[in-house]
Amino acid sequence: MGEKCIDKLLAEQMIEKATEALAYAYAPYSGFKVGASLLTSAGEIYTGCNIENAAYSPGNCAERTAVFKAVSEGQKEFKAICIVNEGPDHGHDYCAPCGVCRQVMMEFCDPEEFVIILAKGAGDYRCYLLEELQPLGFGPGNLKKS
Ligand code: THU
């Protein structure tokens, strides 16, 4: 686990918000519910849950729901995201973001600064930097002319 994380009280608040969002997860096909909370640089918290679909591929992860909600409301600078989950067996484990969500984070977040909090529940979490989970990631900077 990386050393860098956000303030402990704030991390706990994010776990609480992500857990609230988990209750709204729409996951009738996998039974795997996910909740996310996203902290903006201004200190606001946006939440998201996974939303599945009978056609499967249109389904959306909790992390992207939170990012898209925030960006659609004018927020584009983020400090951290927190992810919680509840499996079909009602168990909780550390749930790492999928590759597509990591790529979406690359679009808006500094990989050296953005913190990803994987939480099992209150007081039980691990922190990573985006650059640890997405090494050599491709982002907007790669498209700039040198
Ligand atoms: N899922 C998320 O929402 N976030 C993750 O980090 C991993 C996977 C969702 C997608 C799908 O609805 C379900 O969990 C099973 O993959």
Atom 10 in ligand 1: residue holding the nearest Cα: 61
Q: What is the pTM of this model?
A: 0.96
Q: What share of the chain is helix, strand, coil (3-state, %, to 5)?
A: 30, 25, 45
Q: How far is the CA of 145 from the centre of ligand 1 (A)?
A: 35
Q: Is the minimum distance from the CB of 1 to ligand 1 under 6 angstroms?
A: no
Q: Which residues have a catalytic role annotated?
A: 63
Q: How far is the CA of 83 from the centre of ligand 1 (A)?
A: 10
Angle at 131 between CA 127 and CA 132, to 5 degrees: 55
Mean predicted lDDT score pLDDT of the chain: 96
Give the DSSP letter of residue 3: S
Q: Could you report the per-residue pLDDT of 34-88, keeping only the tens digit for each?
A: 999 999 999 999 999 999 999 999 999 999 999 999 999 999 999 999 999 999 9
Domains and CATH numbers, the chain: 8-59+87-135 (3.40.140.10)
Q: How far is the CA of 39 from the centre of ligand 1 (A)?
A: 20
Q: Is the minimum distance from the CB of 86 to ligand 1 under 6 angstroms?
A: no
Q: How far is the CA of 144 from the centre of ligand 1 (A)?
A: 32
What pLDDT is stored for residue 3 in this prediction?
A: 64
Q: What is the 3-state secondary structure (H, E, C) of 36-105?
A: EEEEECCCCEEEEECECCCCCCCCECHHHHHHHHHHCCCCCCEEEEEEEEECCCCCCCCCCCCHHHHHHH
Whether 27 and 56 have beta carbons less than 8 Å apart is answered as no
Q: Is the minimum distance from the CB of 97 to ligand 1 under 6 angstroms?
A: yes
Model confidence at 4, pLDDT cuts 50, 70, 90, reads confident
Q: Which residue is associated with the tokens 């007081």?
A: 123
Q: Is the minimum distance from the CB of 18 to ligand 1 under 6 angstroms?
A: no
